[in-house]
């Protein structure tokens, strides 16, 4: 609250300084803050595209979490990428550091796609003339008070896709678009590496994301293995286990439960985030919970067997691909929302994930494989 009180106290002076220093009303230098994780970054790539289409001569800088480094650097609409992790703007000195960086950038427009106090303070103390953000549907008192420092706010309404809210936010600065399509870009040598790893496999590839950053959404090892066994019993294909190097142990535990191991490729940790799109492009089907790699597959228009689990699908779900939904109608779901994420089950049983019937997942895979074969 100290930062908030200081901001209210000095707000008239800050606005006076901004008005004296920034008489230019053009958006020549634009800063977008998207410091969340992989899926959230991918779900805002349409924002970068629409900004550059509307302001092609402007310099677009995007502040991101270091974990999405390659995805951001490969995006052709972004002119400059800067990295800030939560620890970088922690505490009073962290807020000063963030504000100083923003001030040195001399930005004409600041867009905070992560509506929180640090970025609100950073844009204000960084003397950005036009500051815009989202007003969450789940909003605490502190941010509601801090939101008064924005030039424009776009309320996120329950039941509306958050990607639509982002576009409505751009409408505040005169950018009109209804193009929700997401984009991901691979590194230049990614295709070559994928070809070498796959070693000439010509059978259909079914990808499975073995983990999730939010363990509440994650399928248990036994269920993943059961799905794999059933798919390989019925279809002549290969299974590809996808994840980071941190998922290697989980993948190995899954493999212990798989009968036909020679038809399973454990590629966890084999590809960087910038190389991963090249692997996903080779898949006939992708199986995933609500996680970053699912949205990468969606951006690439790969058919997805989608297991949303606890999330509110009216706010967020894949929109680009052909989707086969696997979910249960439960009184306790949804319990996790875009601006009110939970990481544990209040009932301590994860019913929305554990009740998922493997046969339904397999049915989705078979449907897409058969459709692909017909085409």
Q: How confident is the model over 279-330, as pLDDT tens digits?
A: 999 999 999 999 999 999 999 999 999 999 999 999 999 998 899 999 988 8
Would 180 be classed as within a structural domain? Answer: no
Are 111 and 234 in the same domain?
no
Task: List 132's β-bridge partners, or say none.
Answer: 111, 152
Q: Does residue 182 lie in a domain region?
A: no
Tell me if 179 is assigned to some domain.
no
**Does the pLDDT of residue 88 top 90, yes or no?**
no
Statement to judge: residues 336 and 236 lie in one domain: yes
| Per-residue pLDDT reduced to its tens digit, 244-256 | 999 999 999 999 9
Q: Is residue 147 in some structural domain?
A: yes
3-state secondary structure of 311: strand
Q: Are 113 and 248 within one domain?
A: no
Residue 184 in domain: no
On whether both 220 and 292 belong to a single domain, the answer is yes
Of 85-99, 205-219, 243-257, minimum mean pLDDT range: 85-99
Overall average pLDDT of the 60-67 stretch: 97
| Residue-level pLDDT at 345 | 85
Q: Is residue 185 part of a domain?
A: no
What does pTM read for this prediction? 0.94
**Do residues 149 and 52 both lie within one domain?**
yes
Top-confidence residue, 275 or 20: 275
Whether residues 241 and 148 fall in one domain? no
6-20, 31-45, 76-90, 288-302: segment of lowest average pLDDT:
6-20
Domain boundary among 143, 171, 199: 171
Same domain, yes or no: 130 and 223: no
CB within 8 Å of 169: residues ≥ 6 apart: 111, 132, 133, 134, 152, 154
In a domain, 178, yes or no: no
- How far apart, in whole angstroms, are the C-alpha atoms of residue 60 and residue 44? 14
My answer on whether 228 and 299 are in the same domain is yes
Please list, residue by residue across 176-204, b when 16 or more beta carbons sit within 10 angstroms of its beta carbon and e when fewer do.
ebeeeebbbbbbeebbebbeebbeeeeeb
Domain extent for 50 = 2-171
- How far apart CA 212 and CA 287 sit, in angstroms, is 12
348/44 Cα distance (integer angstroms): 32
Task: Count up the domains in the chain and report the number.
Answer: 2
Domain check: are 94 and 217 in the same one? no
**Domain co-membership, 307 together with 363:** yes
- What confidence tens digit (pLDDT) does each residue in 102-143 have? 999 999 999 999 999 999 999 999 999 999 999 999 988 999
Residue with more model confidence, 204 or 321: 204
d(C-alpha 370, C-alpha 375), whole Å: 9
Closest CA to 173 of 127, 227, 110: 110
Residue located via tokens 């190097």:
245
- Using the 3D structure, point to which of 140, 171, 202 is the last residue of a domain: 171
Q: Is residue 45 part of a domain?
A: yes
Are residue 249 and residue 312 in the same domain, yes or no? yes
Is 375's pLDDT higher than 60? no
The pLDDT of residue 4 is: 85
Nearest to 265 by CA among 247, 238, 245, 228: 238
Say which residue the tokens 């680009």 belong to: 320
Provide mean pLDDT across the span 82-90. 88
Final residue of a structural domain among 108, 138, 171 = 171
Q: Which residues of 303-320 are buried (b: 16+ CB within 10 A; e: fewer)?
A: bbbbbbbbbbbebbbbbb
Average pLDDT over residues 60-73: 96
pLDDT > 70? residue 23: no
Average pLDDT, the chain: 94
Q: Tell me, what's the pLDDT at 24?
A: 66
Q: What is the mean pLDDT of residues 227-247?
A: 97
pLDDT for the residue 121: 95
Tell me the CATH number at 165.
3.40.50.2000
135 CB-near residues (< 8 Å, 6+ apart): 115, 144, 147, 153, 154, 155, 156
Helix (H, G, I), strand (E, B) or coil at 143: helix
Q: Both 26 and 115 in a single domain? A: yes
Rounded average pLDDT over 355-363 = 96
């Amino acid at each position: 609250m100290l930062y908030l009180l200081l901001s209210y106290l000095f707000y008239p002076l800050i606005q006076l300084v901004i008005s004296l220093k920034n008489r230019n009303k053009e958006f020549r230098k634009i800063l977008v803050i998207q410091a969340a994780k992989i899926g959230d970054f991918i779900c805002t790539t349409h924002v970068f595209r629409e900004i550059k289409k509307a302001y092609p001569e402007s310099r677009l800088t995007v502040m991101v979490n270091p974990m999405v480094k390659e995805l951001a650097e490969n995006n052709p609409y972004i002119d400059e990428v800067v990295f800030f992790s939560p620890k970088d703007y922690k505490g009073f000195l962290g807020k000063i550091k963030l504000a100083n960086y923003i001030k040195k950038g001399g930005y004409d427009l600041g867009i905070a796609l992560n509506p929180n106090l640090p970025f609100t303070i950073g844009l204000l103390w960084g003397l950005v003339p036009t500051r815009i953000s989202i007003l969450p549907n789940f909003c605490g008192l502190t941010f509601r008070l801090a939101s008064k420092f924005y030039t424009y706010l776009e309320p996120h309404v329950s039941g509306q896709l958050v990607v639509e809210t982002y576009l409505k936010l751009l409408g505040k600065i005169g950018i009109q678009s209804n193009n929700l399509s997401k984009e991901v870009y691979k590194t230049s040598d990614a295709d070559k590496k994928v070809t070498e790893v796959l070693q000439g496999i010509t059978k259909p590839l079914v990808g499975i994301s073995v983990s999730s950053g939010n363990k509440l959404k994650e399928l248990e090892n036994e269920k993943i293995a059961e799905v794999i066994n059933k798919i390989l019993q019925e279809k002549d294909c290969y299974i590809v286990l996808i994840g980071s190097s941190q998922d290697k142990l989980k993948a190995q535990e899954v493999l212990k439960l798989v009968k036909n191991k020679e038809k399973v490729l454990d590629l966890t940790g084999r590809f960087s985030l910038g190389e991963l799109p090249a692997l996903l492009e080779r898949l006939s089907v992708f199986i995933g919970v609500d996680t970053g790699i699912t949205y990468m597959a969606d951006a690439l228009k790969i058919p997805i067997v989608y297991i949303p689990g606890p999330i509110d699908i009216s706010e967020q779900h894949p929109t680009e691909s052909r989707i086969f939904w696997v979910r249960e109608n439960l009184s306790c779901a949804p319990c996790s929302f875009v601006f009110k994420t939970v990481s544990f089950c209040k009932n301590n049983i994860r019913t929305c994930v554990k009740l998922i019937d493997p046969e339904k997942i397999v049915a989705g895979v078979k449907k897409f494989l058969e459709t692909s074969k017909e085409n």
